[in-house]
């Protein structure tokens, strides 16, 4: 973290989120395209400079007004009468006690001496007091007061202060929708359409008052002029609305935070084993299948439908006379959806028996051996032997089923394991 960012809360890195983003390919593409246009505005100087590209608290931080020694400034300022007056003004005037003033002073002095705790110990109302010195140059209406965003809201990388990419900026916005800072798409759009700092940014005046303009011209030897973003505000709002609509209400407050920020590729794997017995004819079949796999692709309503081919090897024993090994080919179809909570995946699987091929070796009572070539199609009608199920909508999540069935003298058990996967292959 940059020196001087001690008044700003550090951003905690989180573990990878395995929650599935059940947007359709069309919705993802629309969201990514819309945010690409938003990101170009966020990386322009009027946005980027405030959000981390300029750091007024370090040498070489790019601040035209020079380096602000925030520790020294805070220590001197917190002991002044103007600090006490500012605390009372920000907290209700006469209702603020001397004890309230001292608590605010203690919080700021603690943050200065313990920079790792940062904004978490200062508190939002004290942050406004910290940045009062900025009003010497930045005080153009309608700004209530100038302040620097916290590190977690920076559009630039900590240290290098170079702009972040589309995906990182998108995840920053999504983090705010998930925590409820932008509880609805309307909150997000209203922030971009009416927030004071955004409006100042599109005016292009940097919030500079007469003193700030004189300082700028003296330091840079340039004539001050308005420099708004190259994209008009109305066009930015068009893309912001398109991004919000592509994500939709289903995922607006839901994880993962990269949902609507990058493509996602998922798959489903299934593996089954089957044991079949028929005492009347002394038949026993033991079937083991290799895993089947299919891409898991969602429609706009978070529904899906897939089919996977499965190959199984079957050991057969019939009437004490015939033994053999068969290769079975099946098709497993699954349809379902991710529910409105975006937390559960519901599935309805169906078998479609396809074919059987192999050789049976039979020995009659006289000891004669015959070979029977087995090659035949099997009933393609989907079976309802597999029950519907649900599972957590997360990659690496598994669901195991045991299905017991009886038909006359025939009985058996089918064991099936389903797994949701994060794909690493080509895009879905």
What is residue 112's predicted lDDT score, i.e. its pLDDT? 54
Query: What are 317's two structure tokens?
Result: 């024993």
What is residue 253's predicted lDDT score, i.e. its pLDDT? 95
pTM (predicted TM-score): 0.80
For 275-293, write each residue's pLDDT tens digit. 888 777 677 888 888 899 9
For 79-131, write each residue's pLDDT tens digit. 767 667 767 766 665 566 778 777 777 766 665 555 433 343 344 555 666 67
**Over pLDDT 70: what percentage of the chain?**
82
Distance CA 268, CA 307 (A): 10
Q: Cβ contacts of residue 338 below 8 Å, gap of 6+?
A: 20, 22, 298, 302, 344, 345, 346, 393
Distance CA 145, CA 142 (A): 9
b or e along 93-124 (b: 16 or more beta carbons within 10 Å of the residue's beta carbon)?
eeebeeeebeebbebbeebbeebeebbebbee
The residues of the chain scoring below 50 in pLDDT are 1-13, 115-123, 425-428
What is residue 334's predicted lDDT score, i.e. its pLDDT? 94
Instruction: Single out the residue of 114, 106, 118, 111 nearest to residue 78, CA to CA.
Output: 106
What is residue 186's predicted lDDT score, i.e. its pLDDT? 96
What is residue 428's predicted lDDT score, i.e. its pLDDT? 39
Strand 369-377 relative to strand 322-338, pairing? unpaired
Q: What single DSSP character describes residue 298? A: B
Distance CA 63, CA 137 (A): 12
């Amino acid at each position: 973290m940059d020196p001087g960012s001690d008044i700003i809360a550090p951003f905690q890195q989180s573990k990878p989120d395995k929650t599935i983003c059940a947007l359709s390919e069309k919705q993802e593409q629309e969201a990514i395209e819309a945010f690409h246009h938003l990101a170009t505005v966020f990386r322009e100087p009027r946005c980027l400079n405030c959000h981390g590209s300029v750091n007024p608290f370090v040498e070489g931080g790019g601040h035209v007004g020079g380096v602000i020694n925030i520790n020294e400034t805070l220590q001197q300022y917190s002991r002044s009468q103007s600090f006490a007056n500012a605390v009372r003004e920000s907290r209700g005037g006469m209702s603020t006690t001397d004890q309230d003033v001292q608590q605010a002073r203690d919080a700021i002095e603690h943050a200065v001496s313990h920079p790792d705790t940062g904004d978490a110990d200062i508190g939002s109302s004290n942050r406004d007091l910290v940045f009062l010195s900025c009003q010497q140059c930045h005080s153009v209406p309608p700004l209530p007061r100038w302040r620097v965003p916290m590190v977690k809201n920076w559009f630039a990388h900590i240290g290098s202060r170079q702009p972040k990419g589309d995906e990182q900026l998108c995840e920053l916005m999504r983090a705010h929708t998930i925590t409820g800072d932008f509880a609805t798409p309307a909150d997000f759009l209203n922030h971009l359409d009416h927030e004071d700092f955004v409006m100042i940014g599109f005016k292009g005046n940097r919030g500079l008052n007469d003193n700030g303009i004189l300082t700028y011209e003296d330091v840079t030897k340039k004539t001050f002029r308005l420099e708004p973003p190259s994209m008009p505000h109305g066009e930015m709002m068009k893309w912001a609305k398109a991004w919000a609509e592509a994500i939709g209400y289903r995922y607006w407050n839901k994880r993962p935070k990269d949902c609507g920020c990058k493509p996602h590729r998922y798959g489903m794997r299934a593996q089954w084993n089957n044991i079949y017995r028929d005492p009347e004819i002394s038949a026993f079949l033991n079937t083991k299948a290799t895993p089947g796999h299919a891409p898991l692709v969602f429609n706009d309503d978070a529904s899906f439908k897939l089919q996977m081919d499965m190959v199984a090897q079957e050991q057969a024993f019939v009437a004490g006379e015939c033994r053999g090994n068969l290769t079975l080919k099946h098709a497993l179809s699954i349809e379902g959806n991710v529910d409105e909570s975006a937390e559960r995946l519901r599935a309805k699987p169906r078998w479609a028996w396809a074919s059987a091929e192999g050789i049976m070796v039979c020995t009659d009572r006289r000891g004669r051996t015959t070979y029977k070539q087995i090659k035949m199609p099997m009933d393609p009608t989907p079976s309802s032997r597999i029950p519907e199920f649900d599972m957590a909508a997360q990659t690496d999540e598994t669901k195991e089923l045991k299905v017991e069935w009886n038909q006359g003298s025939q009985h058996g058990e089918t064991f099936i394991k389903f797994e949701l996967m994060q794909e690493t292959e080509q895009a879905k």
